[in-house]
Amino acid sequence: MTPMTNPLLDFTDLPLFDKIKPEHVAPAVDMLLADADAALETVTAPAFPADWLAISKVLDVSSERFSRAWGAVGHLNAVADTPELRAAYNEAMPRVTAFWTRLGSDERLYAKYKAIDPATLNPEQRQAHKYAVRNFVLGGAELQGAAKERFAAIQERQAELSQKFSENALDATDAFAYYAQAEELDGVPDDVISAARAAAEADGKPGYKLTLKMPSYLPVMQFAKSSALREKLYRAYVTRASELGDPALDNTALIIEILALREEESKLLGYKNFGELSVVTKMADSADQVIQFLRDLAVKAKPYGARDVADLRAFASEAVGLQDPQPWDWSYVGEKLKEARYAYSEQEVKQYFTAPKVMAGLFKIVETLFEVTIRRDSAPVWHPTVEFYRIERAGQKVGQFYLDPSARAGKRGGAWMDDVRARWLRPDDGTLQTPIAQLVCNFAEGVDGKPPLLTHDDVTTLFHEFGHGLHHMLTQINERDVSGISGVEWDAVELPSQFMENFCWEWDVLRNMTSHVDTGEPLPRALFDKMTAAKNFQSGLQTLRQIEFSLFDMLLHTEYGAATAQPGDVLALLNQVRTEVAVMPSPIFSRTPNTFSHIFSGGYAAGYYSYKWAEVLSADAYAAFEETAGANGEPSIETGRKYRQAILEAGGSRSAMESFKAFRGREPQLDALLRHQGMAEAEPA
């Protein structure tokens, strides 16, 4: 296979996603790895100058190509998983991990960077240089001998374990199917029933195929009148990838080993635990500060959560006939209570959110607020449902993005934004490389010839991921390592995404992005008012749920004591956290950690608190728009421009606190978050 016939080695423009095959992976990795290794040897030679641009022209150019090619493989592994691709990915991964570990811990390269005089650099380069020196220390560059070898072995093993954790979670989700009979589906929305029937037919089976993918699972939990059906799916869902299911897919041992390796890595680098190591690259000053932040927020939220549970219990008894609701009943009871209290249901709202209209509405607010134009574009894609767009300002391309909205087999659950390439003034040829993003969701597909219908939660998810995408694509920073989301502290990276969610509650925005699937009518104002009234329905419970995950994550990485841990200690810690902050009991058979991919395979280890931390920033940032809104509630273009320039365009070129203060004129305050979530009024009785 020549380089020209391997699509992973074509860097002329966009990735050739439609041509990449498993057999391309190993040859591409071999060639790019050899190039990157050669580049590393070149710049670390004694005679090579300790000069930022000289190093970048050789090493960064080579390693960026390697990163882009491997990124394409990793992306396909997440959205178009096949046994052959998985095998190719796993075969190459140890070599890829070893290279990045080697690069980040090379003492010769570290010495070159330390020898660079920051005074010779522009502000963007200075920030990237500061991060580079810090990351060398965190990457083990100051370790020697056996400690350095052990550190490298830990990185390789952690990569293997995280990948296996992700595979087990996906396989356990995909493995479940229940073919229901029509009478079991009483109450389930028609579009979900149609999709289930089509899925069963595709399998050549009678009945209706229900799965643990969100577009199937969630509506059953919310609407199915059959408690037995809800229990069947619930038990399968909360025991995925655990000892209570297929032993081959049990993640328990992986979790224990991952935690032990993280603790060992932390101690090698001179930290007490992984929590302390994690916050080095974050806004928070210490793990203790994070734990205190979460506990303080829990104290504020707990009375509201307790009120939410009392409401649910009373309603379950009086209106649903459930004297002792079980865990699989809560979503159903909650949906019924919302319908009774606010006279609408998620299913009613969903009929107005057709995917094409939602996308048009999203694009309109982005174009208006950030003074850009979004157009359809063409690119090779990995699935027929994937769309490609470009963003322009004044006729000039600013960035591009792929949109992959639909749930399907072989695609990882959840939603995320990932980068294909970053904005970068390339040191090799002086051209400006524009950024490209991937926006991935898992929405239901259209049925019976109708467009896909999104729940309001789906719409919020889409806006969230688009916020990440805007952070990546609207940057005006030319230094790759601090452009867009690169270099942004992890606990601030959710600010632009959570900020965008607020627009999903603005009438001016929503009325332009709704069209009833059958009549074409926009969302009625009366229904919107009901939605708004219900906005903070169970917000106390939801806040406590996030705090539960966040506190469990941070305590797991600070107080768990991996070296002396016993089987069952992880669940014991989770139960301890639940005793402290939760107001709704969880079943003894629940195995939440076994599919907690955010912290075991997704980069949020000792960082899941970032969602709550960044909510403070995003709510306060959005308050600036509330304060400057027009007479009819329309957002201020001037405030949008200031936000774009201070937050989005600045990327990681300065600290998140500096960017926030440049926008808001002060440090963030908690008030707006509590107000937005209905927890600012007097404490409930």
Catalytic positions are 465
Give the type of residue at 333: V
Q: CA-CA distances (angstroms) from residue 334 to 313, 314, 377, 444? A: 10, 11, 42, 22
- At which residue do the structure tokens 């990045």 appear? 100
- Decide if 607 contacts 256 (C-beta within 8 A): no
Task: Report the alpha-carbon distance of residue 308 to residue 434 in Å, rounded.
Answer: 47
Rg from Cα positions in the chain: 25
- Decide if 435 contacts 426 (C-beta within 8 A): no
Looking only at the bridges linking them, the beta strands covering 416-421 and 424-425 are unpaired
By three-state DSSP, how is residue 140 classified? Answer: coil
Task: Report the alpha-carbon distance of residue 491 to residue 4 in Å, rounded.
Answer: 41
The residue among 229, 293, 326 whose CA lies nearest residue 581 is: 293
What secondary structure does DSSP assign to 472-494, as a single string? HHS----SGGGSTTTT--TTTTT
By three-state DSSP, how is residue 391 classified? Answer: strand
Q: CA-CA distances (angstroms) from residue 592 to 169, 420, 553, 579? A: 11, 31, 12, 15
Q: CA-CA distances (angstroms) from residue 619 to 473, 497, 655, 674, 680? A: 22, 11, 19, 9, 13
Looking only at the bridges linking them, the beta strands covering 436-443 and 396-406 are parallel
Contacts of 86 (CB under 8 A, 6+ apart): 77, 167
Task: Report the alpha-carbon distance of residue 307 to residue 685 in Å, rounded.
Answer: 8
- Decide if 403 contacts 392 (C-beta within 8 A): no
Dihedrals φ, ψ of 654, to 5°? Answer: -150, 175
Dihedrals φ, ψ of 64, to 5°? Answer: -70, -40
Task: Report the alpha-carbon distance of residue 20 to residue 4 in Å, rounded.
Answer: 13
What secondary structure does DSSP assign to 565-585, as a single string? --TTHHHHHHHHHHHHH-SS-
- Decide if 397 contacts 432 (C-beta within 8 A): no
Task: Report the alpha-carbon distance of residue 171 to residue 169 in Å, rounded.
Answer: 6
Q: What dihedral angle (degrees, nearest 10) is formed by the CA atoms of 336, 339, 344, 348?
A: 10
Task: Report the alpha-carbon distance of residue 379 to residue 387 in Å, rounded.
Answer: 8
- Decide if 467 contacts 437 (C-beta within 8 A): no
H or E segment to which residue 425 belongs: strand 424-425
What secondary structure does DSSP assign to 664-680, as a single string? HSS---SHHHHHHTT-S
- Decide if 475 contacts 439 (C-beta within 8 A): no
Dihedrals φ, ψ of 239, to 5°? Answer: -110, 10
The residue among 447, 491, 499 whose CA lies nearest residue 469 is: 499
